[in-house]
Structure 1
């Protein structure tokens, strides 16, 4: 076992590179999301149990059209297949909002590692990013190179953002709150969507250089799409052991971020996870990190405090927390090494 430092303290982690099948990871249908009050309460109870036990579960019947998902991955494949000089036109270091392209080992979520073996392109809400003091906006590839990239990724953003907003009332119920608790905190959510390419790794395993190192996410919830059937995602269980979260057609993986653990006073788990691609195939994924308004205060909820369980976290503005974690993640030098382009 080793100790991993995260934004929420230290976690005990197995040193093994292998992972067992995570058969307990539930698949929760959202078919009751727009049902009666009793339907929503039952769904909230099911989600509450998953949030307490693991902080990771699949959601089905989510309402995001499969064509939107397929189109987004199609554009991701075209983006990552470009020559490095084209990708570097939108190098994130050209802006101030951590948006744009990060090359191979351009990020390092685990300070003990040597860099994450993936490349990525990140986007946010342009109107939110361009607010005074928020930094620069998105860095889009030139339309002459990828004419369908921006409209396709923006459409995916809109659909997944809408899904996140539909989910928050259920999380409010799961936290013992009024369904509309998050409304005033998510008028302009400080969210991020990424496309990620993980080239396969061969040879001896070095845990200091894997697809993405062990980490927790920063925001309220993450909605993750895994492309195809390439297994890479591993989740840390309560015993400090790594377990697999394989792709399941028609689902998102939903996991909780640090903000959810903070406001729930540790009752809901922001679970450590990582990705190791040893399949011999290229892997792509699309995570959407759904956050609070950057000026919203992240503070422990009264419903999650008792005499035996006093508040464990100090209040902090959502934007300040995300900025702090991002600054710890990205390497300062622009990437100089290209990853292998995804197979056609």
Structure 2
């Protein structure tokens, strides 16, 4: 975990790209957070829930068809929801409760956990903020392993419960990530030996991100989280079922809302699985639209290989002599790709693309 943190030290951020505004003190969207208004149909659907909506597939992991269904969803969309995932509902409630406990603190208390300019953990805005001219309607708390260092600053005598819940959640998310990745690899016909599975499992990189999207005076002017793809293999997202806002971009359909499904978790694929699948699976572009009526909370778990792991198209997918099977990306270490993404965002994939 510490090694992943070091991958961000070469891309320090200015404090203005770390400290969120005090959302409790604003009565209208400030110019610094005012994005060009969108008139696309998908955004209008987000604010008007009448009519038909494209459905993100929900997969029962206990189903005998789960592998085939998950693989198909990966190939067609790069995103799906899962039920019977093995994460106790009581733990999901606990994580949500502790997240609310933090985000409902006054701004002066939250900044005690502020992420350092060259750090990867702690409180602050999304790391993608410097790539955009406007700030986002978002605040987050990132952790890699125990959040003790930051939690103790916020609650000198009441940090233990927060740490216990977050550590337990990360342990269970890691196990679920391994299960999902094994299913996806099986769909591809890839064996554990093809990707050095034991080392990937034992030294995997992961991060937990608590996301807060406070109520917004005018959501049409604001952006909760700007369009982007995730860096690692996959992301598992717990959404507060009382508020929606996540959208994914689908070719031919534009922005499609991903409505919360009670008890389900959202799984979306990131750049590294796109690379390893030799572009068979898309790295899904997504964004978040804030709400005027509800404060939205999500908990995202990002799962990836060890930092010294070489990410490239899996040999089993490119070993055919046919031209169509040629590798589309050159191999790169996880650490190097993380740094490329931190410096170049959406241009990172093109930097390692061969054809």
TM-score normalised to structure 1 length: 0.79
Partner residue, 1:148 = 161
Inter-partner Cα distance in structure 1 for 2:97 and 2:191: 40
Q: 1:22 to 1:165 in 2, by over 3 A?
A: farther
The worse-fitting range, judged by mean Cα deviation, of 144-153 and 167-176 is: 144-153
Is residue 2:145 matched to residue 1:125? yes
Partner residue, 2:123 = 101
Partner residue, 2:330 = 314
Equivalent pair of 1:57/1:255 in contact (CA under 8 Å): yes
Partner residue, 1:173 = 186
Equivalent pair of 1:102/1:119 in contact (CA under 8 Å): yes
Written as runs of structure 1 = structure 2, the 5 A alignment for 1:240-251 is: 241-251=254-264
Q: Deviations over 1:84-115 (max 9, x none)?
A: 22211211116x44100004xx5435824412
Secondary structure in 1 aligned to 2:96?
Answer: helix
Q: 1:273 to 1:110 in 2, by over 3 A?
A: farther
Structure with the largest fraction of helix:
2
Inter-partner Cα distance in structure 1 for 2:284 and 2:53: 14
Equivalent pair of 1:56/1:254 in contact (CA under 8 Å): yes
Give unpaired runs (5+ residues) of structure 1. 1-13, 33-38, 130-136, 330-344
Paired residue for 2:87, among 64, 72, 92? 64
TM-score normalised to structure 2 length: 0.76
Q: Deviations over 1:104-139 (max 9, x none)?
A: xx543582441221110001135xx9xxxxxxx963
Inter-partner Cα distance in structure 2 for 1:64 and 1:58: 14
Paired residue for 1:324, among 304, 326, 340? 340
Give unpaired runs (5+ residues) of structure 2. 1-37, 47-51, 346-355
Inter-partner Cα distance in structure 2 for 1:63 and 1:308: 39
Equivalent pair of 2:215/2:295 in contact (CA under 8 Å): yes
Partner residue, 1:11 = none
Deviation of residue 22 (structure 1)? 4.6
Partner residue, 1:31 = 62
Deviation of residue 156 (structure 1)? 1.1
Deviation of residue 294 (structure 1)? 1.0
Secondary structure in 1 aligned to 2:44?
Answer: coil
Inter-partner Cα distance in structure 2 for 1:215 and 1:320: 19
